[in-house]
Structure 1
């Protein structure tokens, strides 16, 4: 794992077209901004893992599984703090 130190408004590049910028540091919370092409998927790790599990479950899905997943995803979104951007 590469470990870098950055201050607010400083960035790092991933490849040629992904830019990650530190927007704010407040206690143990860091807000970051990510610029990437539209075809690059960006997910928080826990959401990515949920999607992977959902894809595995869908391959052996029972009737109603898609509706149950949608309900879980909406509940997770409702639990997330709202941002101004």
Structure 2
């Protein structure tokens, strides 16, 4: 993990496509702006985790249904 210190108004670039700008620092919160191609998905960490958990649950349900259907065929 790369750790950087930035002040409001300063930027970070990732490759030539993604620019992250620190827009405000207030107490323990930092506001950032992200310029990236519209084709790139940008998700908050907690939302990405929630989606992953939901996908795992859906896969487990699908596996259970598939197992049930296979037992019905026998």
TM-score range, shorter chain: 0.7 to 0.9
User: What secondary structure does 2:61 align onto?
Assistant: coil
Corresponding residue of 1:61: 61
Deviation >6 Å, runs of 4+: none
Could you say what the CA RMSD is over the residues aligned between the two structures, in angstroms?
Answer: 1.3
Corresponding residue of 1:14: 14
Match runs of 1:15-54 below 5 Å: 15-54=15-54
Unaligned runs of 5+ in 2: 63-74
Q: Which has the higher contact order (CA 8 A, sep 6+)?
A: 2
> How many residues align structurally?
62
TM-score w.r.t. length of structure 2:
0.76
Unaligned runs of 5+ in 1: 63-85
Larger radius of gyration: 2
